Amino acid sequence: MHATILSLSMLLASASVVMLPDRQAFAQDMSNGADNFYKSDAVDMQKVSFRNKLGMNVVGNLFVPKGQDRSTQAPAIIVGHPMGAVKEQSSNLYAQKLAEQGFVTLSFDLPFWGESEGQPRNTVAPELYADSFSAAVDFLSTQAFVNAGNIGVLGICGSGSFALSAAQIDPRMKAIATVSMYDMGAANRDGLRNGVTLDQRKAALAAAAEQRLAEFKGTPVAYRGGTLTELTADANPIQREFYDFYRTPRGEFTPPGQPEVPTTQPTLSSNAAFMNFYPFASIETISPRPVLFIAGSEAHSIEFSEDAYKLAAEPKELVIIPGAGHVDLYDRTTLIPFDKLTEFFRGNLS
Query: How many domains in the chain?
Result: 1
Residue 32: what residue type?
A: N
Judge whether 3 lies within some domain: no
In 3D, which of 348, 59, 350 has the Cα closest to residue 177? 348
Torsion of CA 302, 304, 307, 312, to 10 degrees: -110
What CATH number does the domain containing 302 carry?
Answer: 3.40.50.1820
Does 128 reside within a domain? Answer: yes
Would 286 be classed as within a structural domain? Answer: yes
Identify the three-state secondary structure at position 223: strand
265 domain residue, yes or no = no
Task: Report yes or no on 287 lying in a domain.
Answer: yes
The answer to the question of residue 298 being in a domain is yes
pTM (2 d.p.): 0.93
| 3-state per-residue secondary structure call for 63-127 | EEECCCCCCCCEEEEEEECCCCCCCCCCHHHHHHHHHCCCCEEEEECCCCCCCCCCCCCCCCCHH
Q: How far apart are CA 269 and CA 89, in angstroms?
A: 25
pLDDT at 17: 30
Residue numbers of the chain with a pLDDT score lower than 70? 1-27
Q: Is residue 52 part of a domain?
A: yes
Burial of 342 (0-12, 13-18, 19+ CB in 10 A): middle
Q: Which residues, listed in sequence order, are joined to residue 320 by a DSSP beta bridge?
A: 295
Residue 284: DSSP 8-state: G
Is 67 among the domain residues?
A: yes
Tell which residue, 118, 116, 100, has the closest CA to residue 108: 116
Q: State the pLDDT at residue 11.
A: 46
Q: Which domain holds residue 38?
A: 31-196+274-348
